[in-house]
Structure 1
Amino acid sequence: MKLNLKNPLVFFDLETTGINIIHDRIVEISFLKVYPNGKEEVKSRRINPEKPIPPQATAIHGITDDDVKDCPTFKQVARSLADQLEGCDLAGFNSSRFDVPLLAEEFLRAGVDFDMSKRKFIDVQIIFHKKEQRTLEAAYAFYCNKKLDNAHSAEADTIATYEVLKSQLDRYPDLENDIEKLSKEYSSFNSNVDFAGRFIYDEKGVEVFNFGKHKGKPVAEVLKNEPSYYAWMMDGDFPLNTKQALTKIRLRGMNG
């Protein structure tokens, strides 16, 4: 099924030094850009993470320190990448829990203002898990009747994810070919305020904590009654995007 698009949709996948959003870095990024007219464009680029790639990460994606030693850093390509993603919605496999938060962190570290809140996000894994409960390889076999060769190659995973979404739309009549609905109704489990889900919106649309001793309490209320909690989080091991969201809420309360 051809995707019904108002904006270009970029399917992307990251290979990284590990799975910690705060401390790990991108070593390869691949994306497949699908235009409203059906045109498709694939690009891949390796990135120097400026830190050693652990053997356990290399064992998964096959990328070594030598492979990326002469590659540009993320900071060197960040502006160009942001320009290529401008005006696009984003899609991936497990992207809402890992790829999108990590990409947001990399842009923030690079000092490039790329407003992720303006994008719609499609997470093909969440759609798949809500429907079938499987992995990408199994999803590819189940929906596309194909074997996924070169699994954990960013480009192979990116292209497979695109094919899976099209097959999902063909298979499920209730899955509407509309990016906004796929993003809001099928690609998220919670209404996150920040990408890591440390804060979520409650049923009234109020930002509340989603972890720790203040879980379920309004963020603005906690910051007002316990100002030191803001400093604790800002000094803590939280993603930059989470700290950015916290600061916006705090400033809104101070100016309110």
Structure 2
Amino acid sequence: MELKLNRPICFFDLETTGTNVVKDRIVEISILKIYPNGERESRTWLVNPEMKIPAESAEIHGITDEKVNDSPTFKELAHRVHDMIKDSDLAGYNSNKFDIPLLAEEFLRSDIDFEMQKRVAVDVQNIFHRMEQRTLSAAYKFYCGKSLENAHSAEADVTATYEVLKSQLDKYEELENDMNWLSEFSNRQKVADFAGFIAFDENNKEKFTFGKYKGQLVDDVLDRDPGYFGWILNSDFPLYTKKILTNIKLRRMSK
């Protein structure tokens, strides 16, 4: 089944130095852009992370320090990447939990203010897990009847993710071929920041999802413990989380 699109959607995948959203960096990014008329555009870039690629990460994706030594940094690529995705919804495999938060961090480090307010994100892994509970390779085999060659190559993974979503729409009648609906279905909770440290409650108010104030409203915590704001800003939280928390504090001050 082909996707019903009101605007372009970019399937993307990152290979990285590790899994820490704050400290790790992108070493490869691949984007497959699907337009409403069915046309496709794809780009893949190797990225110099400006840090050593750990051996355990290189063993997974095959990208070594030598391979990216002469590649551009993300800051040098940032405007080209942003130009490709700025008018599009986003989709990926485990993208809500990892790829989008890490991409947002890289954009902010490159002085590009990346936002999600005017777009939706479809996480194909979450659809798969709600339906079948498997990995991407198993999903590709299960839905498409194919073996995933070159797994953990960004380009192979992003193409497989696109094909899996189309096959999911064919298989499950209850899934709607609508990006807004799929975005809601594939998001396990509505978060204010990409990394999920601040989420919205049933009344659409921001609450903390971690630590000693887990489940408590951000506004209430800032009233009772104003020093908590400074602690987060000075700790190893994602830049986007700090930005959202600062926006909440400024909103309170304006009132």
Query: Equivalents in 1 of 2:99, 2:117: separation in Å?
Result: 15
Q: Offset of 1:118 from its aligned partner?
A: 2.3
Query: Equivalents in 1 of 2:214, 2:113: separation in Å?
Result: 30
State TM-score, norm by structure 1: 0.98
Aligned to 2:83: 83
Aligned to 1:154: 154
Query: Equivalents in 1 of 2:50, 2:79: separation in Å?
Result: 18
**Counterpart residue type for residue 60 of structure 1:** I
Aligned to 2:191: 192
Aligned to 2:247: 248
Q: Secondary structure at the match of 2:247?
A: helix
Q: Offset of 1:119 from its aligned partner?
A: 1.8
Aligned to 2:36: 36
2:19 is aligned with 1:19: yes
Q: Secondary structure at the match of 2:107?
A: helix
Q: Secondary structure at the match of 2:207?
A: strand
**Counterpart residue type for residue 124 of structure 1:** V
Query: Equivalents in 2 of 1:9, 1:233: separation in Å?
Result: 33
Q: Offset of 1:113 from its aligned partner?
A: 2.0
Q: Secondary structure at the match of 1:200?
A: strand
Q: Offset of 1:103 from its aligned partner?
A: 0.1
Aligned to 1:129: 129
**Counterpart residue type for residue 19 of structure 1:** T
Query: Equivalents in 2 of 1:182, 1:68: separation in Å?
Result: 35
1:1-256 to structure 2, matched below 5 A, reads 1-184=1-184, 186-256=185-255
Gaps in structure 1 of 5+ consecutive residues: none
Query: Percent of aligned positions with the same letter in both sequences?
Result: 57
Q: Offset of 1:40 from its aligned partner?
A: 1.2
Greater shift, 219-228 or 149-158, is seen at 219-228
Q: Secondary structure at the match of 1:45?
A: strand
Query: Equivalents in 1 of 2:118, 2:53: separation in Å?
Result: 32
State TM-score, norm by structure 2: 0.99
Q: Offset of 1:8 from its aligned partner?
A: 0.3
Q: Offset of 1:116 from its aligned partner?
A: 2.7
Q: Deviations over 1:14-61 (max 9, x none)?
A: 000000000000000001100000011221000000000000000000
**Counterpart residue type for residue 39 of structure 2:** K
Q: Secondary structure at the match of 2:117?
A: helix
Q: Offset of 1:80 from its aligned partner?
A: 1.5
Q: Deviations over 1:199-248 (max 9, x none)?
A: 11111111011111111111012112211010000001100011011001
Q: Secondary structure at the match of 1:116?
A: coil
Instruction: Figure out how many residues of one structure are paired with residues of the other and give that number.
Output: 255
**Counterpart residue type for residue 115 of structure 2:** D
Query: Equivalents in 1 of 2:243, 2:159: separation in Å?
Result: 32
Query: Equivalents in 2 of 1:237, 1:3: separation in Å?
Result: 39
Q: Secondary structure at the match of 2:199?
A: strand
Kept in 2, the 8 Å contact 1:94–1:126? The answer is yes
Query: Equivalents in 2 of 1:64, 1:217: separation in Å?
Result: 43
Q: Offset of 1:117 from its aligned partner?
A: 2.8
Query: Equivalents in 2 of 1:209, 1:152: separation in Å?
Result: 33
Gaps in structure 2 of 5+ consecutive residues: none
Query: Equivalents in 2 of 1:51, 1:115: separation in Å?
Result: 26
Q: Offset of 1:114 from its aligned partner?
A: 2.3
Query: Equivalents in 2 of 1:70, 1:163: separation in Å?
Result: 32
Query: Equivalents in 2 of 1:245, 1:99: separation in Å?
Result: 18
**Counterpart residue type for residue 203 of structure 2:** K
Kept in 2, the 8 Å contact 1:104–1:116? The answer is no
Q: Offset of 1:87 from its aligned partner?
A: 1.0
Query: Equivalents in 1 of 2:83, 2:116: separation in Å?
Result: 13
Across the aligned residues of Structure 1 and Structure 2, the Cα RMSD in angstroms comes to 0.7
Q: Secondary structure at the match of 1:117?
A: coil
Kept in 2, the 8 Å contact 1:8–1:88? The answer is yes
